[in-house]
Structure 1
Amino acid sequence: MSDDVQPDAPQLRKTSLDKDLSKLSSMETATRALSMQLLAPGLAIVFLACAGLLAAAYSGENPNSALIVAAAIIGGYMALNIGANDVANNVGPAVGSKAMSLMAALVIAAVFESAGAIIAGGDVVSTISKGIVDPKQVADANTFVWAMMAALLSCAMWVNLATWLGAPVSTTHSVVGGVMGAGIAAAGFSVVNWGVMGAIAASWVISPLLGGGIAALFLWFIKSNIIYQDDKIAAARKWVPVLVSIMLAAFTCYLVMKGLKKVWKPDLSVIAMLGLAVFGASVLVLRPIIRTQSQGMENRNQSLRKLFHIPLIFSAMLLSFAHGANDVANAVGPLAAILHTIQSGSVDAKVGIPLWVMMIGAFGISLGLFLYGPKLIRMVGEQITKMNPMRAFCVALSAAITVLIASGLGLPVSSTHIAVGGVFGVGFLREYYTTHSKRRRTYLARKAGNTRFTQVQADERSEDEIVYRKLVRRSHFMTIVAAWLITVPATAVLAGALYFVLQQMG
């Protein structure tokens, strides 16, 4: 062998071992991902078990303690689904606009939902949601208990399905449908107050149209008076304090009327005077703050968005507090009714809510939000239409004002339909404004200095924006509207079927 031929260099890396380690690493990654998928249902099951144990501890020696435990578990299941589906409406637009991160929104919503439920959730609840069923016609306590169990379980199952499909639905309407269906199965069609049901059906149309119209109106005002002005910063200094003051006044009235009714119940004139006082004081305080905050800002839309970040965070807090105060009853109302009926042996129109029952509702909503809420938050905040802080502000402001108007007129409305309707409202307004606004075209033409040429360019750019950025996703629109329309009949049919099944099992 020639001296020039060198022996093969030793293998410093074991390729077969590297391949095996790579396979093991891939398996670990896949196992970790699978474990995370199982974490949410695992924690949900632990919570439901704790709810059952809590109910068992408080039911004591009651011979029907098994029924109380089962009702507590179903109530906890309903609370989880309310958190997963309903709470997204309060924080979704703020997250979609990047005013706050998803984790910050989850923490804020969980804290203020729980606070609203426990502090202002009410110590008395109607046993028959919204007065749609006459309790006198369901006088038998045993029949009433099975009807409420069926209603609660049907609501939870429907909201769970809607969340899985990515459709934000009204939990209040789910409860209404469940109670109606179980009531019909238990006592016949005559048990239903069809006048009240007609008003609730009308709210399917009233809620989203009113919420969308008010949100679109405020966005149109912002576009016309701030965004498409030559000096955006000067316009913002003039109008942003007014807009934020309107929001603060609306939320003050909203919280007093809907969120603090357990603590304080003033009449409408006092609420109106309080709102006007908050508005006037807020304008005086906010003008110098906005002026200082806007110092040195560039004359562009990106600068304007920063002025709406803090108001959006406060709106998410206040909406979550009011939602917890009002909608926790959807989870614990039927549970409290079942508990009272079992313990007293009588069917009453209104019952008290024990603290432990309220705790199941409050913590269930928060846990459901953390475990399953991000899907609906992204749907409402990002996937229907493109959000920014100004549009999200209009949605939040619309939610508070619409509830105030509806409450003053005695109209039953859904907070879910209002919020999602607001998102659709700003989306459709953007489409219309982009193609039809003379102010926008004149502004773009003046900015470019060539009126004829720029208007053509603006038209062409508008078409691009409609296709890729500004078009409301019709697939989501149709899915959500369809889910809204079938919520009451779907939960009613399901509750009726479950009533017969549960009665046979009992």
Structure 2
Amino acid sequence: MDQHLIVAILVVALALVFNFSNGFHDSANQVATVITSGALSPEAALTLAALSDFLGAYFLGTRVAETIGKGIVDPETMRSSQVGIFVIYSALMGAISWNVITWRLGFPSSSTHALIGGMIGAFVAGWGTSPVQWWNVLGIVLVMLVSPLVGFSVTYLFTKLTLFSSQNFGPWVNEGFKKLQVVSLVGQSLAHGANDAQKSMGVIVFGLLVLNFHDPRTGGFIPPWVALSCSLTIAAGVLLGGWKLIRRLG
């Protein structure tokens, strides 16, 4: 078997392992509230979350995958480069290790931060600062820094408005909120699939481009088999779920 083909298979396998660990690790964030409130059973919540993750990953575009695949480092600068492949290995191993460590400790953490940081650190260590597209990286980092603040502000205001508008209603209003929690679960899982699974798609395509196994001009930037395999693996990770994390969050 061709050596480059073996390396490509290893890149794909490692990216799918990371993708699975991402779904497994993040499933707690998606389902803890609906399970705690009794809106859904754990099995139903995880099944619905997994299905929504798959649909979001497969059908809601490829912009995130393109950012990861060519927005951090241009793969054309590393065509047939052994260093480029080692960088991908290092970034994925670092992100997978972080996911496993935080899962074992029962702490929620961001797989996105681990992967982005791992990629940038590995590229700088293996190739220097020149191939990194720092303006794009700055935009990504700013979004990651602002996201918790935006989430805090929006949910704070929404919670205040919800409590104020429902204070004169009876206990029956809780059933309505449980239904809304299910809607929220679906929306969050769709977004999770559309965002997180595409990171693994981008990593796989980056590796295929470096190894000359893919030409975006002939079949699009993300090959259909890459989109399908990443969508399935993140859904499988969510379905199996991180029960230790779920207990801590819920």
1:39-75, Cα deviation, whole Å (9 max, x unpaired): xxxxxxxxxxxxxxxxxxxxxx654221122112212
Say yes or no: does 1:306 pair with 2:193. Answer: no
Q: Is the 8 A contact 1:149 1:334 kept in 2?
A: no
After TM superposition, list the pairs within 5 Å mapping 1:167-206 onto structure 2: 167-206=107-146
Q: Is the 8 A contact 1:83 1:365 kept in 2?
A: yes
Amino acid at match of 1:374: W
After TM superposition, list the pairs within 5 Å mapping 1:12-411 onto structure 2: 62-122=2-62, 125-126=65-66, 128=68, 131-135=71-75, 137-227=77-167, 229=168, 232=169, 299=170, 302-344=171-213, 352-380=221-249, 382=250
Alpha carbons of structure 1 residues 84 and 133: separation in structure 2 relative to 1, 3 Å: same
In the alignment, the residues of structure 1 paired with residue 2 and residue 224 of structure 2 have an alpha-carbon distance, to the nearest angstrom, of 19
In the alignment, the residues of structure 1 paired with residue 65 and residue 220 of structure 2 have an alpha-carbon distance, to the nearest angstrom, of 6
In the alignment, the residues of structure 1 paired with residue 137 and residue 64 of structure 2 have an alpha-carbon distance, to the nearest angstrom, of 23
In the alignment, the residues of structure 2 paired with residue 162 and residue 124 of structure 1 have an alpha-carbon distance, to the nearest angstrom, of 24
Alpha carbons of structure 1 residues 307 and 333: separation in structure 2 relative to 1, 3 Å: same
| Alpha-carbon offset, residue 181 of structure 1 | 1.3
Q: Is the 8 A contact 2:68 2:199 kept in 1?
A: no
Q: Is the 8 A contact 2:49 2:239 kept in 1?
A: no
| Alpha-carbon offset, residue 352 of structure 1 | 2.5
In the alignment, the residues of structure 1 paired with residue 138 and residue 63 of structure 2 have an alpha-carbon distance, to the nearest angstrom, of 28
What SS class does the counterpart of residue 109 from structure 2 fall into? Answer: coil
Alpha carbons of structure 1 residues 157 and 81: separation in structure 2 relative to 1, 3 Å: same
In the alignment, the residues of structure 1 paired with residue 3 and residue 131 of structure 2 have an alpha-carbon distance, to the nearest angstrom, of 30
Amino acid at match of 2:20: L
Q: Is the 8 A contact 2:76 2:209 kept in 1?
A: no
What SS class does the counterpart of residue 211 from structure 2 fall into? Answer: helix
What SS class does the counterpart of residue 125 from structure 1 fall into? Answer: helix
In the alignment, the residues of structure 2 paired with residue 213 and residue 186 of structure 1 have an alpha-carbon distance, to the nearest angstrom, of 39
**Larger relative contact order, structure 1 or 2 (CA cutoff 8 Å, min sep 6):** 2
Work out the percentage of aligned pairs sharing the same amino acid.
Answer: 29
Amino acid at match of 1:159: N
| Alpha-carbon offset, residue 120 of structure 1 | 2.8
In the alignment, the residues of structure 1 paired with residue 176 and residue 64 of structure 2 have an alpha-carbon distance, to the nearest angstrom, of 41
Identify the range of structure 1 (151-160 vs 201-210) with the bigger mean alpha-carbon deviation.
201-210
What SS class does the counterpart of residue 343 from structure 1 fall into? Answer: coil
| Alpha-carbon offset, residue 108 of structure 1 | 0.1
| Alpha-carbon offset, residue 86 of structure 1 | 2.3
| Alpha-carbon offset, residue 200 of structure 1 | 3.9
**TM value normalised by structure 1:** 0.44
What SS class does the counterpart of residue 159 from structure 1 fall into? Answer: helix
In the alignment, the residues of structure 2 paired with residue 351 and residue 67 of structure 1 have an alpha-carbon distance, to the nearest angstrom, of 22
1:120-168, Cα deviation, whole Å (9 max, x unpaired): 3539932745833354654553322222222222222212222222222
**TM value normalised by structure 2:** 0.84
| Alpha-carbon offset, residue 189 of structure 1 | 2.4
Q: Is the 8 A contact 1:116 1:325 kept in 2?
A: yes
Structure (1 or 2) with the larger CA radius of gyration: 1
| Alpha-carbon offset, residue 76 of structure 1 | 1.9
Alpha carbons of structure 1 residues 141 and 368: separation in structure 2 relative to 1, 3 Å: same
What are the ranges of 5 or more consecutive residues in structure 2 without an aligned counterpart? none
| Alpha-carbon offset, residue 330 of structure 1 | 1.8
Alpha carbons of structure 1 residues 365 and 346: separation in structure 2 relative to 1, 3 Å: closer
Amino acid at match of 2:35: V
Q: Is the 8 A contact 2:65 2:199 kept in 1?
A: no
Amino acid at match of 1:311: L
What SS class does the counterpart of residue 172 from structure 2 fall into? Answer: helix
| Alpha-carbon offset, residue 183 of structure 1 | 1.0
